[in-house]
Chain A
Amino acid sequence: MKKVLFMFWCALLSMPFMGIKGGAYLFVGICVSYGVYVLLAHLFGKIKKPAIPVNTKLLSTAFIAFAFILPFLIKDYYTDVAILVCIYIILALGVNIVVGFSGLLHLGFAAFYGIGAYSNALLTTHFGLGFWSALPLTLLFTSMAGLLLAFPALRLKGDYLAIVTLGFGEIIRLVLNNWDSVTRGPNGISNIPSPFILGFEISNLMYYYYLVLGFVLIAAFIVKRVYHSRTGRAWLSIREDETAAEAMGINTRKYKFMALSFGAFWAGLAGALFASKMHFVSPESFSFMESVFVVCMIILGGLGSIPGVILGSLILVLLPEVLRDFQLYRMLALGVGLVLMMIFRPQGLIRKN
């Protein structure tokens, strides 16, 4: 009874926005879906899930093999989506180092992504460099930006860090938007060239997919190795208890610096790939929502877990493509999903210890 009253309360609240009819529909809608949920929980709740032993090595090999033959199985349009998924995986891997491994909630990662994309765009269009010669410079710039932000970040904890990084992200976006003489403001930069390999232009979608996939494999491999190294363990200890980590002789300053610049490094790579894939960048692509979107990916997949990051990126990029008709409700569902995730499964889909 209390639950029904509560649903009625919610419907009542929505009435100024949805009208009396809309509120009534909402009430019926919530009641029915709650009823279905209770029924389903009643039917399936008693079935005990058998623990399936998962051979992770086999699974990941199969997954990689599948990723390699993928472009032969699908249409060009979906190859395009797959490239986007790969770029997001690289970006999310970078965010995962900062948010997942080190526990520093960073809400301005789109800034590094944007710096990477704009560095690539400017170096290739203004200075006539190729993709490969611009790439090291791009990565250097973004890592430096990561270091730069680490100074304020080192003094702050938890939610304050989140707000300052958010502010940093917004400042970068405003600079990109207003510094007309260099970034051409909201119009963005177009005609960014494709990368060349051995004099051969990677303009075909399929080739580009393999290029990006290669980067994803490299990124995942390196991040995994670092995770299992002394550095990775230091990050984890900072996440779990900073005071204890410091007491154990870990130089927390140094490791936070490393986490931020290493995370920014991958975001820069993702940005460069994004710019050369789209041949166009504009400040719009690097808004606050983008940062939140990537954080959502790693929260959905499971903070700190590399397969989780990949799964999260896959789901969040593919879902709107699959549910094209529900495009409008995508962000609505994302918001509800975040809240429900925090309440019912804060560890994400793939649990890490």
Chain B
Amino acid sequence: MFLQQIINGLTVGGVYALIALGYTLVYGILELINFAHGEIYMIGAYLGIIFLGIFTAAGLTQYSLFLSLFLTFVMSVIVCSAYGFTVEKLAYKPLRNAPRLNPLISAIGVSIFLQNYVMLTQGATDKVFPHVIPVTTVEFLNVTMTSLQIFIIIASLLLMAGLHLFIMKTKTGKAMRAVAQDKTMASLLGINIDRIISVTFIVGSGLAAVAGLMVAMYYGLVNYSIGYIAGIKAFTAAVLGGIGSIPGAMVGGLVLGLIESLGASYLSSEYKDAYAFIVLILILLVKPTGLLGKSGENRP
């Protein structure tokens, strides 16, 4: 029972961590809580269903399931990144030098817009993920794991490792760290700030798209309103780990997933959604810098 909940928690936690990375990346560079990030994740989930539907209709899924799933992932990530990129250009870029609350309110506006846009174009009812993936279960030490769970845990860990390498080893990653430290200095040294910010949004949205797709596969249902609650939880994960810190977001996501699944099974499942908020409030009160964050001038 306990181990089972750990596995469930890690599955959900991996997804939270992927979304939390998007928050943390953007916060590290712009000091903006990207309220619309949860909606980007929701769009990712919808895109997965839409593209897989297209590929199935075209006969690709029957021909090769692996290829069609792979293409679904690739297409969703590309289109979702394009959404993140466009949102930044339209709603945040004009407000870069405005008082700090203005971009936040603008982000809330984007979030409302995207949610209703998807509701109007795709309908308010739940969308079902096509049943094309054969799910097998693995029994191990009294714990039942589905192949999807294993896939989600491994994929999210791989993506996190990939992101870490990208940030630490590539030139763009180095530039991102430089911009996060000091924007003015970075631009004086010849780094194109606009480009780096766009890259940040593209990478964050891409990770959110993967998270959305995996959730759609895992639960089988998608609704236009999933972005809001997932966004809040992922934000909590980012704060828990220390906002602005990339390893922090990964740890925070996994920890939050564990807290939630253990809390739901041992305390009360009715208040499952409230745990994230309680954790958030406690963390901000007791240790606002989070588990792995550094304290700084603009941190809470």
Contact = CB atoms under 8 A, between A and B. Distances in A.
A1 interface: no
Interface string B99-127: 11111111011111111111011100000
Contact of B46 (A9, A17, A339): A17
A69 to B, nearest CB: 36
A9 B85 CA distance: 11
A289 B47 CA distance: 25
B273 A170 contact: yes
Given A155-B284, A170-B277, A336 B86 contact: no
B112 A152 contact: no
B281 A168 contact: yes
B274 A17 contact: no
A157 B47 CA distance: 36
A34 interface: no
B17 interface: no
A335 B100 CA distance: 19
Interface stretch (B89-97, B137-145, B257-265): B89-97
Contacts of B32: 159
Contacts of B46: 16-17
Contact of B285 (A152, A166, A170): A152
Given A105-B104, A174-B274, A342-B106, A292 B112 contact: yes
Interface in B152-202: none
Given A292-B108, A299-B105, A168 B300 contact: no
A244 interface: no
B13 interface: no
A105 B105 CA distance: 9
Interface string A296-324: 00010000000000000000000000000
B239 to A, nearest CB: 8
A162 B271 contact: no
A197 interface: no
A17 B116 contact: no
B60 interface: no
B283 to A, nearest CB: 10
Nearest to A10: B86
Contacts of B228: 288
A105 B108 CA distance: 12
Nearest to B277: A167
B116 A158 contact: no
Contact of B113 (A17, A328, A332): A332
Residue among A166, A171, A175, A342 with the highest chain B CB neighbour number at 10 A = A342
Contacts, number: 135
Given A16-B79, A152-B284, A167-B232, A335 B116 contact: yes
Interface residues of A, number: 46
A252 to B, nearest CB: 16
A167 B271 CA distance: 13
B278 interface: yes
A100 to B, nearest CB: 11
Given A13-B79, A17-B121, A170 B104 contact: no
Contact of B121 (A18, A105, A158): A18
A17 B50 CA distance: 8
B235 interface: yes
A337 B116 CA distance: 13
B83 interface: yes
Contacts of A158: 100-101, 104
B51 interface: yes
B92 to A, nearest CB: 9
A171 B91 contact: no
Interface in A61-76: none
A13 B105 contact: no
Contact of B91 (A18, A155, A168, A339): A339
Contact of B110 (A103, A163, A331, A339): A339
B86 A337 contact: no
A343 interface: yes
Contacts of B276: 167
A341 B108 CA distance: 12
B15 interface: no
B288 interface: yes
A18 B95 CA distance: 29
B280 interface: yes
B268 to A, nearest CB: 8
A329 interface: yes
A103 B100 CA distance: 11
B281 A343 contact: no
11 contacts: A17-B122, A162-B33, A163-B232, A163-B235, A167-B277, A171-B277, A171-B278, A174-B270, A299-B105, A335-B114, A336-B113
Interface of A: 9-10, 13-14, 16-18, 22, 103, 105, 152, 155-160, 162-164, 166-168, 170-171, 174-175, 178, 288, 292, 295, 299, 328-329, 331-332, 334-339, 341-343, 346
4 tightest A-B CB contacts, nearest first: A338-B109, A335-B113, A335-B112, A167-B277
